Structure 1
């Protein structure tokens, strides 16, 4: 069994005021995801919405809206919430269903989420 490769890409922006709306952001993000998975079809991607300012849920809604309107349909996105007593983490798993069985991946992902939710600090 090989060692899984985990890549982390983190993007953050610290602004004193809201940046102007850019209609190219959604299509650009979808294109990046689609090109990445086309070049790495056996990799699954996950993202976590930053919730330090309490806006994680809104970020997830925004991403899913972008995905719904701008993706080419080649990937599946499985949104999930990881809940603890004082926090909800909004996440989504993205993968190519031609490479992986959707039901198998969804079941495994939900099991991992359940394990994370039961961990006590």
Structure 2
């Protein structure tokens, strides 16, 4: 959240910190999944999505798979939502199908 509307700093440590948190989470729960929606109250959800996409591309060593979709509300507002899962998760295909099904059923 950025009420002052200032551009955020380009601190390289932020991406590394986010990745470290994800890695710690998955090291303790190897079959876990992460689903996140980019916050949209200030209209910058697409910028946040691009930032997370960039971090995922830069830091992922093919250990994880990410699927991106949009949730669309009754006013046709789009909310980027992503799923991250370990490629060794034995339920990978079922989880992907459920995620896609959820995103398609949420479009009004």
| TM-score between both structures, scaled by the size of structure 2 | 0.84
1:53 corresponds to which of 42, 58, 80: 42
Rounded to whole Å, the distance in 1 between the matches of 2:72 and 2:90 is 26
Rounded to whole Å, the distance in 2 between the matches of 1:92 and 1:40 is 19
Query: Taking CA–CA contacts closer than 8 Å with sequence separation of 6 or more, which of the two structures ends up with the larger relative contact order?
Result: 2
Which segment drifts farther, 13-22 or 57-66?
A: 13-22
Partner of 1:90: 80
Runs of 5+ unmatched residues, structure 1:
1-12
Rounded to whole Å, the distance in 2 between the matches of 1:100 and 1:89 is 28
Assess, with a 3 A threshold, how the Cα gap between structure 1 residues 60 and 19 changes in structure 2: closer, same or farther. closer
Aligned residues: 106
Rounded to whole Å, the distance in 1 between the matches of 2:95 and 2:12 is 32
The structural deviation recorded for 1:101 is 4.1
The structural deviation recorded for 1:80 is 1.1
| TM-score between both structures, scaled by the size of structure 1 | 0.76
**Is 1:76 the equivalent of 2:77?**
no
